[in-house]
Structure formats: C-alpha cells, structure tokens
Amino acid sequence: MKLMRFPIALFAMLTACGQPPQDADTPANHEETPTDADSPAINVPMTPRREAPPKLTDAEKGTLGSRCGNIEPELYDAHKKAQQKLTELLEMDRTAEGQEEIALEAGLELLTKPMQGMSQSDHDVCVTLFKKDSLRKMFHFDPIDGAARSTLSACVKRVMGVFGKGQLSLGDGAGAARGPFCPGDFPVPLSLEDLPYESSADDWDSPTWKCLKFGLRAQQNFQFEYSSEGSAFACIARYLPRQGGAPIELIRDGGVNDEGVLQVSKKTRRQRMK
C-alpha cells in the first residue's frame, strides 16, 4: 500500500469560457501562484520553462474599462473562439510553438470592423489591448487541467459513496489493519514520463480501485493517484504543463473529524512539484 503524501473586471468573465468541466472554485484561466510542497517520492521530470507574454499595465486596464465596455460581448466571443481553436491545436500537438498566436487569429475574425457608433481609433485600441490580454490568458490555459479536476471530483464522489459502509481493509491478510477509507495504491501510470498513457483493465485491477469502483478507459494526459492513511485520504492528479517547468500537482483530500464526520476539501490545491 502506498502511504499518502499531503503534499480587470472587463475580462473577468472571459476566464470561464471554453474550458472542460471543473471545480467551481477555480477559474478556467489563471496565472500560477507557486506553492511549496513536500517532495514526493516519485520521478519529477523537468522541461524548459517558457516565458509568459506581458500583462496589461494598470493604464491599459483603465483604457479597456473606459473605451471598450460597449464591445464587451464581442471581446468575450472572440476570446472564446480563440480558446476553442487553441484546444483543437493542443489536441494535435502540445509542443508546437506559436499556437496561441494562431488561435488568436480565429478570434480576431470577429473583430474586423468597429461596431455602430464606435470610432475606428477606439476600435483599434480595444483590439490591440484585447490581443495582449488574450495571449497571456491563453498561455496559461491547458485543457488537461480541466480534465484532471473532473477526475478528482469523480474520485471524491466515490470516496464519499463508500464511506460509512463498514470498515474497509487497509491491507492483505487476516491481521490487516482496517479503516474508514479504501486502501491506497500506486499511481496510474507509475511514471509521469509514460504520459500520455493508455491504461488497461489490469491497471485498475487492485483492491483500491475495486473498492472505489473506479477506473479510466480513455487516454490519460495526467497521472492519477488515490492514497489513504488512517482517517485521511487524498485524490491526486499530476501532469506535465505545456508551458514547461516542474509538473503540476492537483490535490483534493479529506478526513474524518473527532465526531466521526467525513470532511472533504471544497477547493482543489494546485502546486508545482519539486
């Protein structure tokens, strides 16, 4: 058994479009805030890290708010179209350069001329600022993040489903310890270097996954692990970010309090592995 390692307003609504289902607490597009985490006892492959495009300055954000508010819906639709195009490109090749710029061209097709009552100069300014802001948002966008979060939510639901249905075995044999959660197991796949990974029925043929009634059949672009120890559990997903650097680790966990009540984290923790 594997022991657990606990390891501007105008554009605000753009962050939720075009993303696979995920936790409501986490925006679809976000810029990473590095978080310290204990070094897991698994291989941590590192890749060259790309530099993010520049942010909008405070003055540019003010210009967006004062001159571009009347075309907010058009900017939203343009970003959504660009992000959808980026998703398609990433499905074909996650490593190709210039994908954000290619995807942005698809969105700019919706912004070719000013709306009625808007001057050409205001239109041009808004499009220029939109391009800068959208490029940065798309740089941080990764469909794998949304898919991984959905899987974590499914894992938590399975944990909640079996909790309270008797003490579950935490090992093999008559003398095995017993606890409130399914036993932990090694991640699938074992190494992040195996990603993307096509799992088989054998990968999920263990006491852990049978207990949880859990398994994945589609291609995995992230490593998945469930672990438990005593009165606590964790569902963990890890993936190699297309922006480079150390792998991303997403965690949802929980445990049993002193009153015997199951408490589960509502938010997904996101951190860089070390």
Parse the chain into domains and list their residue ranges. Answer: 56-141, 143-272
pLDDT 10s digits, 198-215: 999 999 999 899 989 999
Residues 49-62, mean pLDDT to the nearest whole number: 95
Closest by Cα among 187, 78, 186, 93 to 138 = 78
Q: Give the relative orientation of helices 99-108 and 72-92 as an angle to the nearest 10 degrees.
A: 140
Q: What's the alpha-carbon Rg for the chain, to the nearest Å?
A: 22
Longest dimension (CA), the chain: 80
Is the dihedral angle over the CA atoms 102, 239, 266, 168 positive or is it negative?
positive
Q: Which residues contact 166 (CB under 8 A, 6 or more apart)?
A: none
188 forms beta bridges with 224
pLDDT of 42: 56
Quote the CA–CA distance of 42 and 274 in Å, as a whole number: 10
Amino acid at 127: V
pTM of the model: 0.76
pLDDT 10s digits, 79-115: 999 999 999 999 999 989 999 999 999 999 999 999 8
pLDDT 10s digits, 134-192: 999 999 999 999 999 999 999 999 999 988 765 555 455 444 445 688 888 999 999 99
pLDDT 10s digits, 125-148: 999 999 999 999 999 999 999 999
pLDDT of 148: 96
Q: How many CB atoms lie within 10 A of CB 130?
A: 26
Residue 30 pLDDT > 70: no
> Do 68 and 75 touch, CB atoms closer than 8 A?
yes
N- to C-terminal Cα distance for the chain?
Answer: 23
pLDDT of 15: 34
Neighbour-count burial for 190-229, b at 16+ CB within 10 Å, e otherwise = eebeebebebeeebbeebbbebbebebeeebbbbbbbbbb
pLDDT confidence tier of residue 117, bands split at 50, 70 and 90: confident
Residues 246-266, mean pLDDT to the nearest whole number: 94
| Ramachandran quadrant class, 132 (left: phi over 0; alpha: psi -120 to 50; beta: rest) | alpha
